[in-house]
Structures are given as structure tokens and as C-alpha cells.
Amino acid sequence: MTTKRTHLKNDLRTLFSESTNDDRGLEFFISNSEVLQSISTQSLDTGDSTIKVDWQEVLKKIEKKSNPQVFFWFAPLKAISETENSLVLKANNEFDRDWIQNHYLEFIADTVKEIYGIDIEVKIVAQENGSAERKTANQQTTASRKETKSALFTGFISPNYTFDRFIVGPSNQFAHAASTAVARKPGEAYNPLFIYGGVGLGKTHLINAIGNEIIKSTSNMARVCCISAEHFTNQVINSIKSNKMEEFRNRYRFGCDVLLIDDIQFIAGKESTQEEFFHTFNTLYESKKQIVLTSDKSPKDMSYLEERLRSRFEWGLITDIQPPETETRIAIIKNKAESEGVVLPNEVGLYIAKNTTSNIRELEGTLTNIIAHAKLLNAEISLDLTKEVLKNIVKSQDNRFVTIEGIQKEVANFYGMRVQDLKSDRKQKNIAVPRQVTMYLARRYTGASYPEIGEKFGGKDHSTVIHAVKKIEKLLGNDPSLTKTVDALSRKIESLMSG
């Protein structure tokens, strides 16, 4: 390759002084060359240093759009670089970085677009821990965050209700598994989670355990709002009276990452509370915030609630808790005794379990009563002492206790058939319907678990009992003849229970 050399008649300096007669020619050339060089340098460095987005302006917009609890995460962020397609922000530590990446990247990008009209990818990096000072600062920040965990929830969560202290058995296994899944991934696993069951079976324990697990988690700094439906209703009433509804709405709709409400059936018939909860539910659900509710009935059986609420309860996972089986009751009693530092003989545990079948709360209360008697009398816990303490309770139960066998006998007499027919596998309607009614009544009046009821009907599977109970529940109120029959049998059984 050859290079063609062009010879100039004048040197560079004379190009301006002679041709233009301008004494400032060289200076003009040099100054403009510097400008061009500057422009060229800016052009080359656009991807590294040119900042088109004013992060402080974006922060001000975010502060206006969010509540103080949310803005808490954005205030420490600093812009460190920008390209045509991305904005890089620096967080104080890895924890902040991970939380913002998982929850607020899209929110930041939308705010930038709202101000500047450009689509941009937001990236978050953590401050490097290159120096001892930075490490100390990060440790202090993390410690500070841990200290403020108690401020991240509203209401009261009992520290005694944890997953470690929950005794798992066939009657509550599915509800426990669903609760642990929600606690590990709030807003992702099952939303909403609806837990229902009778009094004292462990619903409140599970909903508190979810809250405790989320709060202590190192990977979740979610704001947990745990409250009973009764207190929620009282807050609605007080907010209306004091003209602070906006504050109430902001607290639950924008100040919660996890909303836990116990005994949601309490809001039935309270129109203002149902209206507020409806909109709160929608806001949280659309924001992918976790909702957990407990009730004494399934959503389908809560006819006293607005249809729009019941339908939303069914959007997620519904699980029930059944009365514990004998083995689970024994495990609960032993666990309670261990937590009290008491050695409980096996025969005592078995006796309590067999004579206290209604719910866990009563089970633990009975054990507490026995322990108290032993301490006051300075005696060891024995079967004789237990029988003495429980003699009035057991006698009272004997007078009003109804068994599955007793209910089978009453139903068989009512329909004019044999008890053996109820236990058979025959599927004719004139036998299947009485069998289903018997299973429904056994479940209603004995509190026995589905497997225990199935065992009394010729060893039928628990799923058969569940189907029978659900079917009768669905038909009641819609089938006048069946409703009349069940009412008559219920009155008969209740008269036997009253002695």
C-alpha cells in the first residue's frame, strides 16, 4: 500500500494569518480543536459517564408515589452509571440489593419512563466490602435492620406458636405443609391460603407460625400484619369515627407484604368492614402480597358473607384441620408435658387422650390441670391421680357422650333398616343416602376424624367419608325432605346428649 503525500505551499500557521488576515486564526483553530476533542471524548464515553436520568428527580417521584415504609428501601440507593439502555444503582449491601431486585425493579423502571418517556433496564449492585470501614458499616446496617424487624408487623404474633412446636398428624398434615410453603415463599406458593376447622384445632397456631417464620427469616424482610378479624373490624369503626380512613387504608393496602387475619368469619354482617376488606384484598392480591385467612367454616359454607368475598377466598388454596386422632392427641400431650418439664407416664397420656377428644385446647388444658394438682399435692403424676382429677369431667362426658355406633343405631331405626346395611358396600340409593347422613352426623356430633369414622363403617377409606359429609352439607337447605330428616335426627341425638 502506497501513501500519497500532499505538499502545502504554506506552513500551518500561515494558513490563517495570511489567507484570512486574522491574528486570532491559530487560537481559533486550537480552541475549536479542543471543543471537537471534548465532544469526541464525550461521544466515546457516553456509555460510561453521560447521565441522562437525574436519579434525585426519580427518587422524589418515587417518594410521592409510595408510602414511607416502601420508600425506606429506595432512599439509600445511588446512581453510579448509565448507558442508553440501562441504569445502574448501588445499594448499601447485598441484602438491600437482593430485596430491591426481587420486588421493585419494575417499579423503578416504570417511574423513569413516567418522567423521561424512555424504556430502561435497571440494575442493582451491592457496595463492595473492600475495606474494614465498609464491612463495619454493612454489619451495622444489617444489625439495624434486624433490630427493626419487630416494627415490620402490625398486631400481635405469639412467639410460642412456631412450626417447631406444632404436632403434625394425619388430621393436620396438609394444612401444615401448605403453611410452611407459604412461609418460605410468601406471595408465590399459595395465595390466598385459607385454613378452616373447628375450635381449638390449631388454626391460630399455624397462622402465627407463618408470621414468626417470615419475620425471623434472613431472606425475607416482609412487613407482616397479623390481626384478628374482630380487631380489624374495630379498627375500621374507630377510623371512621376519627375520620382517619385514609391512614387505615394505607396501613393495610400499602404497608403490608403479608396479611394474616384470624377468624375471618367475624366480619359477617358488618358491611363497612366487608367493603374495606374487599378492596384491601384486591390491592394486596394484585400486588402479589401474601394473604392468609382462618375460619371455622369453608368458604362455601359461609353463606352469611358477601359472594364476592367468598369467591376470592377460593382463588388460592383451601385446607382444613380435622380433630386429632388418638395417636396425635398422645403426641400433643407428651410434647406439652416436655415443654413444662414434666415426666408423663404412658398410661396417663393414653387415658387423657381417650377421654378428651374435642380439641387440642381442651387437651392441653386438661394436662395443665393435672400438673397443677400434682404440684399442689406434692405428688407424682399417676393414673390414679389423673382419674381422680378428671372424674367429674369424664362422668359429665359419659352422661352426654354420643358414639358413632349410637348414631348408626338411631339412623338405622329412623330409616327402618339394619346397622349392618349402613356398614355394607351396597350402593343402592335407599342405603347410600342413610349411610351418608350417618357419616355426616357422626362427624358433626362426635368430632371423630374421617379415618376413624370410615373404620366404623366397615373400614371405608377416609375419602369416602369426606365425600359423604360434603354431599350432605351441599344438599342441606336445597333439599327440603333431606333437611327435615337431618333436623329430626339431630334433635334426637341432642336429646340423648343432654341426658
DSSP characters over 107-164: HHHHHHHHHH----EEEEEEPP--SHHHHHHHHHHHHHHHHGGGGGEEE---TT--GG
Please say if the pLDDT value at position 46 is more than 60.
no
In the chain, DSSP finds a helix count (H) and a strand count (E) of: 24, 9
**pLDDT tens digit string along 9-20?**
444 444 334 444
Q: What percent of the chain is predicted at pLDDT more than 90?
A: 15
Residue 98, all three cell numbers:
437482593
Q: Which of 425, 430, 457, 429 is nearest to 441 (CA)?
A: 457
Sign (positive or negative) of CA dihedral 56, 61, 64, 69 = negative
The per-residue pLDDT for range 432-488, each reduced to its tens digit, is 999 999 999 998 888 778 888 998 998 898 889 999 999 998 888 788 889 888 888
Mean per-residue pLDDT of the chain: 78
Strands 78-82, 86-91: pairing kind: antiparallel
**Distant-in-sequence, close-in-space partners of 353: CB < 8 Å, separation ≥ 6:** 326, 329, 330, 333, 363
Rounded to whole angstroms, how far apart are CA atoms 188 and 374?
A: 49
DSSP strand E in 17-144: where? 78-82, 86-91, 121-126
Buried-state track 55-79, b at ≥16 Cβ within 10 A, e below 16: beebbeebeeebeebbeebbeebeb
- At residue 17, the pLDDT reads 40
> What's residue 387's pLDDT?
86
* Residue 215 contacts residue 157 (beta carbons within 8 Å): yes
Per-residue pLDDT at 154: 52
CA dist list (Å): 492 to 476, 483, 499 = 18, 14, 11
- Average pLDDT on 102-122 reads 86
Rg (CA), the chain: 35
Distance CA 138, CA 19 (A): 66
The reported pLDDT for the residue numbered 205 is: 93
Mean pLDDT comparison of 94-103, 155-164, 282-291, 361-370, highest-scoring range: 282-291
Main-chain dihedrals φ then ψ at residue 227, nearest 5 degrees: -155, 150
In whole angstroms, give the CA distance from residue 188 to residue 110. Answer: 22
Residue in this structure with the C-alpha cell 403426641, named with its chain if needed = 331
Q: How confident is the model at residue 217 (pLDDT cuts 50, 70, 90)?
A: confident
Grid cell digits, residue 231: 380487631
**Residue with the three cell numbers 358488618:** 270
Query: What distance lies between CA 88 and its chain's CA centroid?
Result: 33
What value does the mean pLDDT take over residues 325-329?
Answer: 81
* Per-residue pLDDT band at 195 (split at 50, 70, 90): very high
**229-241 helix and 245-253 helix, angle to the nearest 10 degrees:** 150
* Residue range 187-206: mean pLDDT, rounded: 88
Tens of pLDDT, residues 90-108? 988 776 787 788 778 888 9
Interatomic CA distance for residues 389 and 369, integer angstroms: 8
* pLDDT (mean) for 241-247: 88
For residue 132, CA distances in Å to 78, 129, 136 come to: 21, 8, 6
Rounded CA gap, 213 and 164, in Å? 10
With bands split at pLDDT 50, 70 and 90, how would you rate the model's confidence at 379?
confident
| Residue 469 to residues 174, 324, 440, Cα–Cα distance (Å) | 19, 18, 5
Query: CA 225 from chain center: how many Å?
Result: 10
Write the DSSP symbol of residue 432.
H
Torsion of CA 390, 395, 401, 404, to 10 degrees: 70
| Across 162-166, 210-214, 391-395, least confident range | 391-395
- Please list, residue by residue across 381-409, b when 16 or more beta carbons sit within 10 angstroms of its beta carbon and e when fewer do: beeebbeebbeeebeeeeeeebebebbbe
pLDDT (average), residues 326-354: 84
Whether residue 76 is preceded by a cis peptide bond, meaning omega within 30 degrees of 0, is: no
With 80 as the cut, is the pLDDT of residue 159 above it? yes
